[in-house]
């Protein structure tokens, strides 16, 4: 079962080069399952026993199911749709000495820069175009090897392996074509989107890594792919949500954008998107504001974002006792300073969920001399305060352009998600 799930995960990630395509993939999946799409700008009618979803900015999505008999509790799993990447700047082409055309890009999020060199890349995202006098959004993804960031040869910097400080503006601009390619980049995107170049009025376009995902290792125990953080959790949440069947709470699958840049956007965890959606569900069920607050107090959220596994070459970087391993189950993440919002209560609830799902769990805490990362749970809690646990799947090389995880763990999180949503 877990191999089939791992293959499905790779296929989902391949179709999701940016947050826009990831959300569109989920949107299409929900439509095929008879979910009704709600629009934020329209009135919501919702009924018991039905399933719905709503998107914001085309890069965040919240799907939910109302139980047949009224149970007023939200059971939420929140993950994120974005990954660190390079964003294409305005007026992207730069010509180099009548020899090359390269693209002007800037960094989106904090990533390992070295893994972006010397591998095929392409471009994807969304464009805003004028069509019949109206502005319209079009998703684009150039599905071929189009760009590459070449390294400087060792002969031209003999000291590079002693450590090198990358400068994004100087070192990481991708090569697009020979001199003759000048002036063609936006035209290429226009052709892909079937619009006139002049009609492209705005864009949010990113480089993405073309290296295909793979299952590998002595016994096929590892899975590597771009964007495992956090599409592995988003995918597991979606699968668990769809598999959960009859639900005895208001099940909420929530995938937010911009986690990699601090979540403070209209579609990020610091926004009102989740809170607005929960309030509207409450109102559409004919409930008062006080009843909304009562519902929140009895609700539970799982903030699902990948975790660091023990690294084979850097074992000393992991806490001496809490050492997550690949293929050993879902990781509960703790931090005394509440960068992870797990506390004694939410940890206990989640351990009980794992027991019901019959899956293993592990624990992660940073070494006490390392700051570590953060995620969306505590940020989301400032908008909608819900008892929350931070969890994730163990992985290596987080924020590389090509990350590695355990082949079995996705299936475990799906099983846990089924229990959360049931
Ligand atoms: Zn993440």
CATH of the domain at 153: 2.30.250.10
Asked if residue 221 is part of any domain, the answer here is: no
The Cα 5–Cα 409 span in angstroms is 10
pLDDT value, residue 374: 81
Question: What is the DSSP annotation of 157-181?
Answer: -TTGGG-----HHHH-PPEEEEGGG
> What does the alpha-carbon distance between residue 400 and residue 231 come to, in Å, rounded to a whole number?
14
Range of the domain at 105: 85-209
HSE (side-chain half, CA atoms, 13 Å) at 179: 4
Distance 47 CA to ligand 1 centre (A): 34
pLDDT band of 70, cuts 50, 70, 90: confident
Distance 387 CA to ligand 1 centre (A): 20
Measured in Å, residue 275 CA sits from the centre of ligand 1 at 21
In whole angstroms, what is the distance from residue 76 CA to residue 253 CA? Answer: 6
- Asked whether residue 200 is assigned to any structural domain, the reply reads yes
Mean pLDDT value of segment 92-115: 97
The answer to whether the predicted template modeling score (pTM) of the entire model surpasses 0.75 is yes
Number of domains into which the chain is organized? 2
Are residues 248 and 392 located together in one domain of the fold?
yes
57 within some domain: yes
Same domain, 115 and 179: yes
In this structure, the answer to whether residues 367 and 301 fall within a common structural domain is yes
Per-residue confidence band for 358, with pLDDT thresholds at 50, 70 and 90: very high
Distance between CA atoms of 240 and 5, rounded to whole angstroms? 12
Would residue 315 count as lying in a domain?
yes
CA of 258 from ligand 1 middle (Å) equals 10
What's phi and psi for 44, nearest 5 deg? Answer: -105, 125
Query: How far away, in angstroms, is 260 Cα from ligand 1 center?
Result: 7
What was the pLDDT predicted at 375?
Answer: 86
Q: pLDDT confidence of 206, banded at 50, 70, 90?
A: very high
Q: Report pLDDT digits (tens) over 146-197.
A: 999 999 999 999 999 999 999 999 999 999 999 999 999 999 999 999 999 9
42-46, 114-118, 352-356, 377-381: range with lowest mean pLDDT: 377-381
Distance between Cα 81 and ligand 1 center (Å): 9
Same structural domain for residues 60 and 185?
Answer: no
Is the domain of 122 the same as that of 261?
no
Q: How far is ligand 1, taken at its centre, from the CA of residue 382, in Å?
A: 19
- Among residues 175, 209, 243, which one ends one of the domains? 209
120 and 187 part of one domain: yes
pLDDT score of 215 more than 80? yes
How many A from CA of 326 to the centre of ligand 1?
17
Does residue 376 carry a pLDDT above 90?
Answer: no
CATH at residue 403: 3.40.630.10
> Residue 134 pLDDT > 90, yes or no?
yes
For the segment 120-140, the average pLDDT, to the nearest whole number, is 96
Same domain? For 16 and 71 the reply is yes
Determine, yes or no, domain membership for 214. no
For residues 284 and 407, membership in a common domain is answered with: yes
CA of 375 to the centre of ligand 1 (A): 7
Task: Measure 49 CA to ligand 1 centroid, in angstroms.
Answer: 32
| Alpha carbons 20 and 292: distance in angstroms, whole number | 31
**Pair (101, 241) in one structural domain:** no
Q: Rounded to the nearest whole angstrom, what is the distance from the C-alpha of residue 92 to the centroid of ligand 1? A: 28
Q: How confident is the prediction for the chain on average, in pLDDT?
A: 96
């Amino acid at each position: 079962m877990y191999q089939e799930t791992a293959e499905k995960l790779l296929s989902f990630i391949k179709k999701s080069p940016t947050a826009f395509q990831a959300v569109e993939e989920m949107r299409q999946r929900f439509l095929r399952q008879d979910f009704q799409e709600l629009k934020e700008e329209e009135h919501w009618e919702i009924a018991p026993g039905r399933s719905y979803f709503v998107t914001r900015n085309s890069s965040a999505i919240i799907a939910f199911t109302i139980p047949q008999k009224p149970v007023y509790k939200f059971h939420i799993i929140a993950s994120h749709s974005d990954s660190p990447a390079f964003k294409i700047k305005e007026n992207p082409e730069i010509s180099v000495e009548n020899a090359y055309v390269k693209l002007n890009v800037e960094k989106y999020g904090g990533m390992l820069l070295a893994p972006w060199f010397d591998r095929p890349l392409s471009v994807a995202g969304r464009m805003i175009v004028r069509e019949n006098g109206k502005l319209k959004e079009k998703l684009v993804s150039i599905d071929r090897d189009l760009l590459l960031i070449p390294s400087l040869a060792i002969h031209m910097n003999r000291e590079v392996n002693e450590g090198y400080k990358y400068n994004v503006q100087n070192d990481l601009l991708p090569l697009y074509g020979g001199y003759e390619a000048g002036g063609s980049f936006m035209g290429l995107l226009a052709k892909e989107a079937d619009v006139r170049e002049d009609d492209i009025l705005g864009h949010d376009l990113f480089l993405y890594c073309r290296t295909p995902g793979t299952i590998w290792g002595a016994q096929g125990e590892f899975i590597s792919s771009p964007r495992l953080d956090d599409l592995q959790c988003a995918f597991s949440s979606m699968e668990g949500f769809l598999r959960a069947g009859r639900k005895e709470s208001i099940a909420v699958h929530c995938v937010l954008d911009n986690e990699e840049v601090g979540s403070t956007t209209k579609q990020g965890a610091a926004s009102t998107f989740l809170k607005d959606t929960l309030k509207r569900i409450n109102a559409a069920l004919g409930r008062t504001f006080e009843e909304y607050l009562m519902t929140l107090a009895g609700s539970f959220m799982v903030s699902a974002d990948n975790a660091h596994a023990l690294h084979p070459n850097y074992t000393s970087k992991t806490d001496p006792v809490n050492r997550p391993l690949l293929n050993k189950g879902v990781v509960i993440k703790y931090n005394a300073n509440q960068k992870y919002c797990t506390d004694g209560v939410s940890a206990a609830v989640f351990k009980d969920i794992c027991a019901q799902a019959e899956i293993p769990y592990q624990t992660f805490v940073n070494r006490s001399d390392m700051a570590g990362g953060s995620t969306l749970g505590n940020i989301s809690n400032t908008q909608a305060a819900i008892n929350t646990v931070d969890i994730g799947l163990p992985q290596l090389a987080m924020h590389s352009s090509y990350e590695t995880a355990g082949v079995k763990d996705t299936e475990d999180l799906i099983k846990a998600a089924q229990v959360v949503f049931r």
